[in-house]
């Protein structure tokens, strides 16, 4: 069995300011830094880690960097683990997007699996690249335990894929909390979800469920 420990990045400046972070390199805020320390302690006390991967965006990398250091491992950065490319929405406040792009924003709110920000990518495209990356990581780490630092949208589409949800059904699947653990298990090519969005180790559970 190969075990993949997916970790959504800690609370970020973008979360705090209610902006569409997308693929902008927005850092953790003070709460996110604390969450990263607490998730490191939780993982170190409960797992033996063989490899650490991360999105190349700093909010994901900084969330898992302490875990890598604790096990004397490098952090392997992969662009395929980035958050959704939100195009012209990137870095902008939710309130502005809702006013300037009312139809697109309404689709984002009501059927997220079918929306595509202007100049960005769709959830279907994100799902394909995320699953390609997951299977690549599995192939590189057979029968090992791997930490993967990534984003809310990525974890959402991975869960949707494993659950067999259609694009129209993704809206029924909420984001996991910031700095939470979702554990996948791979056996003979089949993926299953063993733990979903667990954050019981956090003293600061501040999160933002809508924006990556």
Q: Say what the pLDDT of residue 212 is.
A: 41
pLDDT digits (tens, 9 = 90+) for 69-107: 999 999 999 999 999 999 999 989 988 988 999 988 888
pLDDT digits (tens, 9 = 90+) for 40-70: 999 999 999 999 999 999 999 999 999 999 9
CA distances (Å), origin 190, targets 120, 151, 155: 30, 22, 17
The pLDDT of residue 211 is above 70: no
The pLDDT of residue 210 is above 50: yes
Q: Say what the pLDDT of residue 49 is.
A: 98
Q: Say what the pLDDT of residue 125 is.
A: 96
Fold (topology level) of 2-198? Rossmann fold (3.40.50)
What's the whole-number mean pLDDT along residues 9-16?
88
117/28: higher pLDDT: 28
Residue 152 CA to residue 146 CA, distance in Å, equals 18
Q: Say what the pLDDT of residue 15 is.
A: 84
- pTM for the predicted model, two decimal places: 0.94
Describe the strand order of the beta sheet including 51-54 as a list of residue ranges: 75-77, 51-54, 145-150, 2-8, 181-187, 190-198
What's the whole-number mean pLDDT along residues 15-35?
90
Catalytic residue list: 9, 83
pLDDT digits (tens, 9 = 90+) for 129-187: 999 999 999 999 999 999 999 999 999 999 999 999 999 999 999 999 999 999 999 99
Q: Say what the pLDDT of residue 115 is.
A: 86
Identify which of 178, 186, 166, 187 has the alpha carbon closest to the alpha carbon of residue 205: 178
Q: Say what the pLDDT of residue 209 is.
A: 57
Q: Tell the burial category of 16 from Cβ atoms under 10 Å away from its Cβ (0-12, 13-18, 19+).
A: middle
Residue 76 CA to residue 180 CA, distance in Å, equals 20
Identify which of 208, 209, 206 has the alpha carbon closest to the alpha carbon of residue 38: 206
Q: Say what the pLDDT of residue 207 is.
A: 82
In 41-180, the DSSP E strands lie at 51-54, 75-77, 145-150
Residue-wise over 167-194: b if at least 16 C-beta within 10 A, else e? Answer: beebbebebbbbbbbbbbebeeeebeee
pLDDT above 70: percentage of residues in the chain: 98
């Amino acid at each position: 069995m190969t075990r993949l420990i997916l970790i959504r990045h800690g609370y970020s400046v973008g979360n705090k300011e209610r902006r569409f972070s997308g693929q902008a390199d927005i850092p953790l805020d003070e709460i996110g830094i604390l969450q990263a320390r607490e998730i490191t302690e939780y993982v170190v006390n409960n797992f033996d880690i063989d490899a650490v991967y991360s999105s190349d965006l700093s909010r994901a990398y900084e969330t898992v960097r302490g875990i890598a250091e604790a096990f004397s491992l490098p952090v392997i950065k992969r662009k395929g683990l980035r958050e959704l490319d939100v195009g012209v929405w990137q870095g902008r406040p939710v309130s502005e997007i809702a006013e300037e792009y009312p139809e697109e924003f309404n689709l984002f709110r009501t059927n997220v699996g079918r929306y595509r920000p202007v100049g960005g990518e769709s959830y279907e495209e994100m799902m394909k690249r995320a699953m390609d990356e997951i299977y690549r990581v599995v192939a590189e780490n057979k029968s090992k335990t791997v930490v993967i630092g990534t984003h809310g949208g990525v974890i959402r589409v991975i869960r949707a894929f494993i659950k067999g949800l259609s694009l129209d059904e993704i809206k029924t699947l909420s984001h996991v909390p910031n700095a939470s653990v979702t554990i996948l298990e791979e056996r003979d090519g089949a993926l299953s979800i063993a733990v979903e969005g667990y954050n019981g180790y956090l003293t600061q559970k501040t999160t933002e469920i809508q924006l990556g």
